[in-house]
Amino acid sequence: MKTFLRKIVIALSFASGITFAAEPEFKPLFTDDGPPTGWITRHWGDLGLPAQGSPVWTVKSGVLVSTGDRGCWFVSDKDYGDFEIEYEFRLGPQGNSGFAFRAPAAGDPAFVGMEMQMADFRYNPQAKPSELTGGIYRAIAPTEQVYQPEQWNTVRLSVVGTKLKVEMNGKVIQDTDLASHDEEVIDHKNNIVPKIKDRPRRGRIGFQNLSRAGGQVEIRKARIRVFEPKPPVD
């Protein structure tokens, strides 16, 4: 994976004339127990709206959990463009979560940014392949289904320019160029939404809890490294 990312960064540097900072270090997303700072809880279908009810996200013994009302996103105040993230997640029998990235501050991350789905099979037995764990929601299906119910699942996701790679439980399940995806995407209200190739290149990241009863969402060992262009030298 390290070699893969180095090749992407070098290729983009030559193609764009932009020099990227070399080999940035991973930094933990959630360093202390308690409510994380630099993150906000928002509506499950629109980051521009407050969450319904009173959901609470907090870190307990190094594990980020959501309690209280169902249906919300927990998103960063900060925008991210090119980055690599690693984390582990565990869901209950009716668990439904997702990892949002490059999401604007308003709208549904799944359709105005991107969402990598994380959901137990029992949440929606009729789910389409792109709605299963590892799929870019309703847009790009994973190459195989490697989700392990009620166990800790490991994720490594990198997005650099238009190159997306996702490894889950040691298997590469996404390795694609986002610029090549011009498939029509339909949201929950049967509206046509922006194609993947036209989605933003920078935005918020975050985790969702849309679980039904007994479907908790747990996140641990989350860390990120950011690939930022170097400022030009005078």
Q: Which domains does the chain have, with CATH numbers?
A: 25-226 (2.60.120.560)
**pLDDT confidence of residue 70:** 87
Question: What's the pLDDT score for residue 162?
Answer: 98
Instruction: List Cα–Cα distances, 55 to 124, 173, 208, in angstroms.
Output: 22, 31, 11
Instruction: Give the residue from 84, 61, 20 showing the smallest Cα distance to 226.
Output: 84
Which distant-in-sequence residues (6+ apart) come within 8 Å of 30 by Cβ?
36, 59, 62, 64, 219, 222
Residue 14's pLDDT is 40
User: Can you give the pTM of this predicted structure?
Assistant: 0.89
Looking at residue 143, its pLDDT comes to 98
Q: Residue 16: its pLDDT value, please?
A: 45
pLDDT of residue 213: 83
Strand blocks (E) in 16-150: 27-28, 39-43, 46-50, 56-60, 63-67, 72-76, 83-91, 96-103, 114-119
In degrees rounded to 5, what are phi and psi of residue 42?
A: -130, 170
The tally of CA atoms less than 13 A away on the side-chain side of residue 126 is 0
DSSP string, 142-165: -SS----TTS-EEEEEEEETTEEE
Task: Tell me the C-alpha distance between 56 and 54, whole Å.
Answer: 6
Residue ranges for the chain with pLDDT beneath 70: 1-22, 230-234
CA gap 21, 24 in Å, rounded: 7
Query: Which pLDDT value is given to residue 216?
Result: 87
Q: For 162-202, how does the pLDDT look when each residue is reduced to its tens digit (9 = 90+)?
A: 999 999 999 999 999 999 999 999 999 999 999 999 999 99
Q: For the purposes of burial, counting CB atoms within 10 Å of the CB of 91, is it exposed (0-12), middle (13-18) or buried (19 or more)?
A: buried
